[in-house]
Structure 1
Amino acid sequence: MQVERLYRFPVKGLSAESLEDVRLSPGETLPHDRRFALVQGDAPFDAAAPRFLPKQNFACMMANARVVLLHSAFDPVSGTLSLAGPDGDRLTAPTGTAAGRAGIAAFLTRFLGEEARGEPRFLDVPGHAFTDQKLKGVSLINLASLHALEAAIGRRLDPLRFRANLYLSGLPAWAEFDWVGQELLVGGARLSVFRRTRRCPATQVNLETAERDCDVPALLRQHFGHADLGVHATVVEGGRLAVGDAIELLGPPAEAESDPPVA
């Protein structure tokens, strides 16, 4: 088994950035993954006391399909974010200043048009990641499972519809579901898989046209009896990982193996 592709998504809901390698830290996402978000004006998100909120509180593919037509690029050295819309409208602004974030918020709000609610804010909250689940972590896709879905429905799907961090090869379709509760060695990092990934309406969206042209959750249920594709894991032990790195299934955590059986 090995890592075939590696991505981060600096702005929640916006485009992927391909990586060759990355260094993971315990209990964290990939560096800069889901670091920023456009928070809808009516969302109950408090930057002074950040907490997980469902994705509909933010600009995202599930609620705002047109965001796939935006191209974004984050430079972690300068801290600038570049945005380009399909109509040629462009912006490059610093994320580290209030004025820069206000400019980004205004750009994205104009793009959303009637889908913008209230006065959206573009936020970067130190220590917080705008993930789709309460635990910070890493999302993984088994490419064989994706290919099994494609074979069942008779069409190709862009893997980035699923917005995962790691895309893996070398194991049978759906075998990754057996990893829940087990640990993996991926490159130099150790991961603990904690849940299957339930797919949402975001995966319906064609990344080139922004049309909802394929009901992925319904098709998964129709052909496989569930709406899951991929798994989520937390980083237990940090380290470097890269495209091409081997993946080794380690089994349950050592403490779980040593627990006495329940009478």
Structure 2
Amino acid sequence: MRIETIYRYPVKGLTAEAMEEVLLTPGETLPEDRRFALAQGDSPFDPAAPAWLPKRNFACLMANARLALVHSAFDARSGNLLLRLPDQPPLLASTRSEEGRAAIAAALTAHLGEDARGTPRFLEAPGHSFSDVAKKVVSIIGLSSLHALEQAAGATLDPLRFRANVYVSGGSPWAEFDWIGQEIQLGQTRLRVIKRIVRCPATEVNPATGERDAMPPRWLRDHFGHVDLGVYAEVIEGGRIAVGDALEALAPTD
């Protein structure tokens, strides 16, 4: 199998950023992945004592399809976040200043409209990832599995609906499910696959239009008897991964 694309998502629910290569660190996500989030006003998240919370506490595509219409770009060196919102001038603000974070929160809150609850906060917490799961993981999708879903449903699905970090080609559909509990070699790195990814209504949202125009969870259930696509894996040996690198399932060591 071969890496076709690599993505990070600096702000939970916002734009995927393509990468040609990246260095992975044991026990960590991709650098900058889900580093920031817009916490809803009723979210109890405390940046001073960060703990994992379910996605409903944050602006996310599952509940807020309008987020797909926001185009963002994050510069890790400067800490600046660029937002392009419909019918608004571009906003460039610093994620490192209180003023900048407030400006980002205000712009996103205005865009969410009635979907915003209370007074949302744009947040980060050093060392914390606003992932959909409590562990720090890398998400991987086999494109053969996605193509099997497309064929069964008679629909074309943008892979970015599924917001994975790594998309790989080759292999048979659903082969990645056989890796649960095993290790894989990905480029220079070694990962342990820990669980399947359960798909939610976020995948119904077209990333180009913001419309809910597909039903991947229902199609998965109807055609395959489950609602899973892709796997989560923990990095256990760090190194570089790049587009074109191989993925190989390693033999069990027991």
Pairwise TM-score range, normalised by the shorter structure: over 0.9
Q: List alignment gaps of at least 5 residues for structure 1.
A: 258-263
Tell me, in whole angstroms, the C-alpha distance in 2 between the residues paired with 1:88 and 1:149.
37
> Percent same amino acid at aligned positions?
63
2:43 counterpart of 1:43: yes
1:52-97 deviations in whole A, cap 9, x for unaligned? 1111110110000000000000001111000001224320011111
What's the counterpart of residue 5 of structure 2? Answer: 5
**Is 2:17 aligned against 1:17?**
yes
- The TM-score, its normalising length taken from structure 1, stands at 0.95
RMSD over aligned Cα, in angstroms?
Answer: 0.8
| Mapped partners of 1:117, 1:189: distance in 2 | 41
Structure 1 position 39, deviation (Å):
0.3
Equivalent residue number for residue 124 of structure 1: 124
Mapped to 1, the partners of 2:251 and 2:80 lie a distance apart of 41
User: What's the CA shift string for 1:175-208, capped at 9, x where partnerless?
Assistant: 1000000101111111100000000000011112
**Counterpart mapping for 1:74-89 below 5 A:** 74-89=74-89
Distance in structure 1 (CA, Å) of the matches to 2:184 and 2:89: 43
Q: How does 1:173-252 map to 2 (within 5 A)?
A: 173-252=173-252
Partner of 1:114: 114
Secondary structure of 1:61's counterpart equals: coil
Q: Report deviation, 1:221.
A: 0.3
Runs of 4 or more off by more than 3 Å in structure 1? none
Q: Distance in 2 between matches of 1:108 and 1:138?
A: 27
Aligned counterpart, 1:159: 159
Match of 1:140?
140
Match of 1:260 in 2: none
CA–CA separation in structure 2 for the residues paired with 1:136 and 1:66: 27
With the length of structure 2 as denominator, give the TM-score of the two structures. Answer: 0.98
State which structure, 1 or 2, has the greater radius of gyration over its C-alpha atoms. 1
Q: Which residue of 2 aligns with 1:71?
A: 71
* Per-residue deviation, 1:48: 1.2
State the partner residue of 1:261. none
Q: Distance in 2 between matches of 1:222 and 1:189?
A: 36
Partner SS state of residue 251, structure 1: coil
Cα distance in 2 between the residues matched to 1:250 and 1:94: 43
What is the CA deviation profile of residues 1-29 of structure 1, one whole-angstrom value per residue up to 9, with x for unaligned ones? 11000000000000100000000001000
Unaligned runs of at least 5 residues, structure 2: none
For residues 123 and 237 of structure 1, the distance between their equivalents in structure 2, rounded to whole angstroms, comes to 29
